[in-house]
Amino acid sequence: MRVTLLGTGDTTGTPTVGCDCGTCRRARDLDVERSRFSVHVENERTGESLLIDVSPDFREQFLTHDVPLPDEAVVTHVHFDHLDGLGNAYRVFDDLPVHAADEVDPVTGESVAATIDRKYDYLDRVTVTEQSPFEPFDCCGFETTLVPVDHPPLVCYGLAIEDPRTGAKLSITGDTSYGVPDDSRAVLADPDLLLADGIVPASLTAEHPLGGKHHDESGVPRTFGTKHMTREGALDLADDLGAAETRIVHTAHFYPPDEAFAEPLAVDGEVYEL
């Protein structure tokens, strides 16, 4: 399993357009980028590849990084920074199977799969397949399982990707607070590599209108507002899950410059062999 981090940033990415903050300047100085979230997983045994979330930066990501176009894709939720790159399928793919959850979201009145099918009904190259959470399905020779996480107000899913031959396992939290349900944690547990949402350091929760939640024993908030983990929350979840290696993704340019590129915060283009 060859994992390439195509996009490791939040909804605006780093550098953010029109921003001259210290972190965006530092990213330009280092010549690094955190584009909108997307992960490429290549099955080196079968020669197939899987794309997790279809970033609006799809075109640039695939022009920049040395990875093949995906044979299949999984979409975790319907926020634009995880979905709207799907329009790039036009005249690029003959057929792209897209897997997404079948649970109806009470907020939108439709499932993630149904939203994708409706929004991209003009793309005959895209075939949407509904998948039930906690029920493993085959993607590119991998056993893939979607699990509910906590990203209000919309439904959102993390996922575990396992190679049934080698036992290699990648877990992705999806966009989530620290309040990942126990049954979902059980599926995500013991990965060789965990990609964990950690949008900002816990110190910045004081600047959120809702503050933070899911405090640890020392009072450190593991959730920023309600939707995303803090860096500290992501690391605590990694410990909870027993991850062998962790990279923090979906990070914002609000990290202070002296913390923004420190370990274990990921940047685009990192590659892992599992």
Overall average pLDDT of the 242-251 stretch: 98
Q: What is the DSSP string of 61-76?
A: HHHHS--PPPSEEE--
pLDDT reported for residue 122: 94
Q: What is the pTM of this model?
A: 0.98
Counting DSSP H helices and E strands in the chain, the numbers are 6, 16
pLDDT (tens digit per residue) in 136-164: 999 999 999 999 999 999 999 999 999 99
Q: Which two tokens stand for residue 232?
A: 């500290």
Please compute the mean of the pLDDT values over residues 5-34 and round it to a whole number: 98
For residue 120, the model assigns a pLDDT of 96
* Continuous H helices in 169-272: 182-188, 231-241
The letter for the amino acid at 182 is D
C-alpha span between 116 and 75 (Å, rounded): 9
Are residues 239 and 232 in contact, defined by beta-carbon separation less than 8 angstroms?
no
> In the structure, what pLDDT confidence band is assigned to residue 187 with cuts at 50, 70 and 90?
very high
Q: Token digits for 198? A: 């950690």
Within 10 angstroms of residue 129's Cβ, the number of other Cβ atoms is: 15
Q: What is the pLDDT of residue 138?
A: 97
Structure-derived torsion over alpha carbons of residues 73, 6, 11, 76, reported in degrees to the nearest 10: 20
CA dihedral of residues 171, 176, 177, 182 (deg, nearest 10)? -50
**pLDDT at position 258, please?**
97
Average pLDDT over residues 64-71: 96
Mean pLDDT of 91-108: 96
Residue 66, Ramachandran bin (φ over 0: left; ψ between -120 and 50: alpha; else beta): beta
The phi and psi torsions of 98 (rounded to 5 degrees) equal -120, 120
pLDDT of residue 89: 93
Which pLDDT belongs to residue 206? 95
Q: Give residue 88's identity as a one-letter amino acid code.
A: N
CA distance 100 to 155: 11
Average of pLDDT values for 197-213? 97
**Arithmetic mean of pLDDT over the chain:** 97
Dihedral through CA 83, CA 89, CA 90, CA 93, nearest 10? -170
- Output the pLDDT for position 251: 98
pLDDT digits (tens, 9 = 90+) for 21-47: 999 999 999 999 999 999 999 999 999
Give the C-alpha separation, 214 to 194, whole Å.
Answer: 20
| Banded pLDDT at 207 (limits 50, 70, 90) | very high
pLDDT of res. 162: 98
* Predicted local distance difference test score (pLDDT) of residue 239: 98
What are the C-alpha distances in Å from 33 to residues 24, 59, 170, 270?
Answer: 9, 15, 23, 11
Among 269, 214, 258, 207, which Cα is nearest to 236's?
A: 214
| C-alpha distances in Å from residue 50, one per residue of 17, 18, 76, 80, 126 | 29, 33, 13, 19, 14
Mean pLDDT of 265-271: 98
